[in-house]
Structures are given as C-alpha cells and as structure tokens.
Amino acid sequence: MTDDKVGRTRRGGASKAHSSARRQAAVNVDKIPSRAKGKAVSTTMDEPRPEDAESQEENEDVEENISEEGEEEGEEGEEGVDEEAEEADEEADEEGDDDGEEEIDEEAEEEMEEEEEAEQPPPEPKKPRKKVTRVTQGRNPPRVKPPPVTCYDGGPSDLSLLPGFGKHVVVPLWKGELQSRYLRVMNNGKKINNFKICPKEYSWFWNVVNASGLETLRRTNYNHTDWGLLTAFAERWHPETGTFHLPIGEMTITLDDVSSLLHIPITGKMLDHNGTSCTKEDGEEMCVEYLNFPISKCKKEFQKMKGAHIGFKALKDLYLDNLKDALKAERLKKPAEDVEFLRECTIRCYLLYLIGATIFTNKSMQYVDVIFLTYLRDLSLVNTWNWGASGLAYLYNYLDAASRPRCGNHGGYNCLFQAWIMAHFKTFGGRFVDERYTHDNPYAARFLPLKGPKFPGQHRSALDTMRMDEVVFCPYEEHRQTRPFQDISWYTGWIMCGSAIINPHLPERVLRQFGHVQSIPRHPDVSAKAGMNRFTIADAFASYLTANYVTEEMRGPKVVRAFDTVPGYIPWLYRVSHPKILPPVEADPPTHANLEEDNVSGECDVSEVTKKVRADLRKALDGQLNLADALVVIEKAYTDLDPVDAYLVRRKRRRDSGEGTKKRKKKKKTTTEDAGTSSL
C-alpha cells in the first residue's frame, strides 16, 4: 500500500485521513479494553462503515459475556479472540487497496455525527462549585473581635441612654480629629426678604394669607446666619433624646419655642403624606390644577430638578404670571370663576414659596417639594394643619444628620435655630436687638444676627466652659400677653413631617425651660414608643391628654432659681452623656467630683440664703408636720443650701491657689503708683 497520506495504516498506526475518521478512531481506542486483563482488543483502525456498528455491538456483547463468565472461561475467550483477530486481519488485507482508494463522504459523516448527538441525552446542569475556604489557622490565627465598647473618654460611661454614641461626631472630635469641620448652613432668608409681594390694598390676597397662619414667616428671616455657632450646637445634638447635651444639662427647641419665635400654628393635624415627595405624574396634575402651571413647562421643570420639585425662580415667575392674569381678568370683567381661579393660584404660589424657603428648607436650597401643595389645595383649611410641629420635625431630622461625622450641609429652618440660640443664650453669637421691635411681631424678629466665622472652634470651647448664669431658660415671660403658653407644648412622643420624617419631642427632659425643677428624666423609649407609624402617631397627638402628656406630678415643683435641678442630676448627666466634647489640657484636668459647683454662679449672698433657709425651717417646726411634709421641707432646705456650699468651696480654692492674693497685691501696687504720681 502506497504512502500517499490518504489511506490508513492498520494495527494502531497513525492515520492521516479526514478529521472525523480520526475522531471516530480515537473513540474506538478509548473503548478497547486492556489485553493484560484478558479482554478482547481490536487492532484495526478502519474507516467507520455500516458493518462497523454491528461489529461494535458484537464487541460490546463479547465484553459483557467475558465479564460475566469470569476466570474459568478466560483461556477459551482468548483463543476465540485470537482467531477472530486473524480473520479480521486477512479480510483487511484483501480489502485494503480498495479502502485506500475510496474517499470519505463528508456529508454522510456529518449526518451520522448529528444523529449520534441527537441520540445522546442532554448534559446534566453543572452543580455550583463549592467554595473551598482555606484553613490558615496555623499561619494566620483568626482575628479576635474587639470587646464591645462600654464607655468613652470624656463620657458616657453608661451607654443605656445613648447606645449609638460610637457613631456620633463627638467621638472623633474628642480624639483631636475633624477640628476644621464646619456645616454649610442653608438659609433662604434673602429670598424672602427680597420677595416683592402684593400691595396691601389687594385684600383678596392678604385676607387669605393672614388667615392661613403662615404670614408671620416672612418676618422671621435673617440675611446672615452664624455657621460656626450653629455647627457647635448641632454637634451636641443627640437623636435618641431629641435634645442638645450641654455642660449645664439638656436643652431643646420645643413646640413652645416654635409658637413664640414664629407665631405659626402648633395645634391641629400634622402633615401626614407618604414619603418625602410625590410622583411626577401626581405632581404634574396638582401643578396644572392648583398652580395654573402649563403641563409642558411643568414637565421641563421636573426634568431640570430631577423630580417632582419646582425651583424657586420658576415658582416666583409663576406667581407673577398668575398675579398679572388675575388683575387682567378682573379689569376685563371676565367670569367670576376665572378670576377666582387665578387669584387662588396666585396665593398658592406665594404660600408654597414661603414655606419652601423657610420651615421646609432642604439641603439644595434651590427648590420646594410639590408634595406640600397637597395641604394648600383648600385655602380655607390651611390654618388647620400643624405647620409648627411638622416644621420642627423637619429641623430635627437635619439635626440628626448633622450629628454624624460625614455631614457637610445643614438644612431645615436655620433662622429658627439661630433665633432659639439668641433667645436662650445671652453671650453666644453676635447680634443686635431691633429697637423698633414690638411684641406684636414674632419673638425671632427681635434679633438682627451678625455673620460670624464659619469655623466653630471658638464656640466649642465656649460651650465647654459655659455656666448656668449664661442661660435664659424662660425668655418669653414678657411675650406671653401676645403669645400665651399652649398646653399642647406638654405633648411627649413623636412628631412628624410625613411618614419619612419622625422624631421625638420630649419636654420632660427640659423642665427648666417650662419653669420647673429639672429631674432625672425617664428613658426616651418610654415616652416615644417604638413601632408607631404615621397613623398611630397622628392619633396619639390628637388624643395626647390620655397618655402622651407630661402630667403635673411629672413636672415637679416650680424653680426658685432658673437653673434648679434635683440632687444628682448633673452627675447623672456626666455619666450617661458627654457634656464636654473637647479633652481638657494637662494643666486643667476635668473635675467630675465638683460638677455641680462648677456650674453655679460665683455670686452668692450667703447670709441671705441661710437666713431664708432658717426662716423656712422655723416656720415648718412651728407648725404640725407629718413625715411626708417634713421630708419635703428638708429636701427644699438641702437644695437651697447647694449654692452656698459651692460658693464656699470656690472661695477656698481661690484662696489656696493664691489667685485672690495676686489680685489684691496687683491692686495695691497700682494704688501705690497712682499715689506716687499724684504727689509729683
């Protein structure tokens, strides 16, 4: 047989035929059992023919028979196999020349391969490979989890009140980090102050705006806010309690503060919309129906603001367009329905602009959410909504974010925040008092704040060293004739601005702001129960007198001094919180044992205090007292003598340190020099 690289060699030799034949030969080779184990071995590598299939079946039968018969018929099987092999060799020799000349029918082979593939069962899906984890305990032992933190340097040492303190901004501040941090305070005061509103002769406009209860918001805006001051106070806010934690105790912005500072409603139903914004489709319908905003322009505005929001510029232009159309329709004596529609759209545009730039100022400071238009649809019911409580919850929500290290912008009505600081803290923040102010205006209009530095470093130190006599706990006593105290201010529980903004309002934690002695308050979870939604919160607020109310028993006695607290309140505060956020210098370590005396004013008339205590005791002894009354008298005498004790200890400190001696020597020296100068 010629070696023309077309024919096949026998007995396992290399074949240079078509690739399909080689693949078939490879399959046959895999199926050939080993001769060493007494099994039949086919030595031919011929081209697959129809009879090959039969021979292959016969070989398979032979293999099965061999395996069943075992070793007893092994020799006979070998002889039979040898004879069959010799016959196959002879037949191959006779037909070899013909096979070498035949060409491979490629199409037939492909059909056979397709049939074989069709007969084969579909492959089973691969099982997911198990991830083999390396065992490295020998080289790298597993990491040991750090023990849970139970206390922090500078406080708190008891995390029962502030379990999330580890994520508070005070933690890195105490370590010396984030010293250059400040909040970019959002303020739309200039927008409101520069807004051109309708003249006073348009009674149809002003009658509705005044009746809405929101008109006073245009008189409580500042052109400037003190970024550093607001940042320093926001760093002391705690979401768990809804209060600022200061060295003198807890304080917060209450519903009474909102009522006095802004003169907006704090009663009625709180805003209860779902989420923080509405869909674009719902927003477009409301804008067309209640603002007379063309649908094409509305869609373009929503696309620009990336949501159901209206920019302040677009809203102002829409207000002016509706006002012009209303005046024009009135001049042309168009139907009363058309004139009334344009007037109402004008009023809604103004009120939406007003609340969006004041109590609902967001971090963008560029737009107002259309969702608030829901509460302006019926203009006769605007004053029935609780704008004060919802606006306060909106500010609380941004204070929660500002207490985290990564926060950079601060939203909410920051003019209210600044006015609250200026009303309660006499020495913090530069301000002027408006000489033209009268109590007919909101209390926030009394101040004219100055623009302070944006970095809060100086204010942080001042707050750490503040004293009791620097705080005005009840600043609205002269303002009560205009804005009386409302009983709803004693509501304790959740306040909300929609379902996504819910915060606690806990007046029992700041009793001194209501003229009562501050006691150690109960845990916030008791006052603001978990698991409540916007519907149950609305019901609790509406029926607050039944359960969610600071009763007279909880309020305790009235204060004698504005900063009065029950014994042990200040040490408790230092145990569960961090009244000071900056670590002390080495020369001035913290004096946790003398916290109460450090926060009492240095001025104390010892004789007057002791005389009063003795008179009270004599009066009690002269009367007939039972055990309960005697305990009350003793407790009062103990509290009244606290400032005397603190004053005497402070004097002893100064005397032992030589501070008073140095001042006397300096004064004496100055007097001597003056005398010498006069003699000359």
Specify burial of residue 120 (Cβ count, 10 A radius: 0-12, 13-18, 19+): exposed
pLDDT at residue 58 is higher than 70: no
Query: Distance between CA 333 and CA 327 in Å, rounded?
Result: 10
**Percent of the chain residues topping a pLDDT of 70:** 70
The pLDDT-based confidence of 605 (bands split at 50, 70, 90) is low
Among candidate residues 606, 584, 385, 651, the one with its CA nearest the CA of residue 496: 385
Among 381, 401, 348, 428, CA closest to 186: 401
- Nearest CA to 443 out of 676, 277, 263, 245 is that of 263
Q: How confident is the model at residue 49 (pLDDT cuts 50, 70, 90)?
A: very low
- pTM here is 0.70
Main-chain dihedrals φ then ψ at residue 295, nearest 5 degrees: -65, -35
Helices (H) and strands (E) in the chain, counts: 25, 11
- pLDDT value at position 632? 74
Q: Report whether pLDDT(592) > 50.
A: no
Arithmetic mean of pLDDT, 387-408: 97
Residue 315 or 122, more confident: 315
Contact 420, 257 (CB under 8 A): yes
What's residue 651's pLDDT? 64
Under 8 Å between Cβ of 255 and 391: no
Q: Is the pLDDT of residue 5 over 50?
A: no
Q: Lowest mean pLDDT: which of 135-139, 289-293, 480-484, 503-507?
A: 135-139
At residue 354, the pLDDT reads 97
| pLDDT above 90: residue 116 | no
Q: Looking at 78-92, 279-293, 544-558, 612-626, which range is the least confident one?
A: 78-92
| pLDDT, mean of residues 615-620 | 78
State residue 655's pLDDT score: 63
pLDDT score, position 244 = 98
Task: Indicate the average pLDDT of the chain.
Answer: 80
Q: Please give the helix or strand (H or E) that residue 353 lies within, else none.
A: helix 336-356
Q: Is the confidence at residue 256, as pLDDT, over 90?
A: yes
pLDDT of residue 625: 72
- Spatial neighbors of 612 by CB under 8 A, at least 6 apart, are 640
How far is Cα 1 from Cα 19, in angstroms, rounded to an integer? 21
3-state SS, 612-655, equals HHHHHHHHHHHCCCCHHHHHHHHHHHHHHCHHHHHHHHHHHHHH
Q: What angle, rounded to 10 degrees, do the helices at 627-640 and 606-622 form?
A: 170
Enumerate the β-bridge partners of residue 385: 269
Query: Does pLDDT of 179 surpass 80?
Result: yes
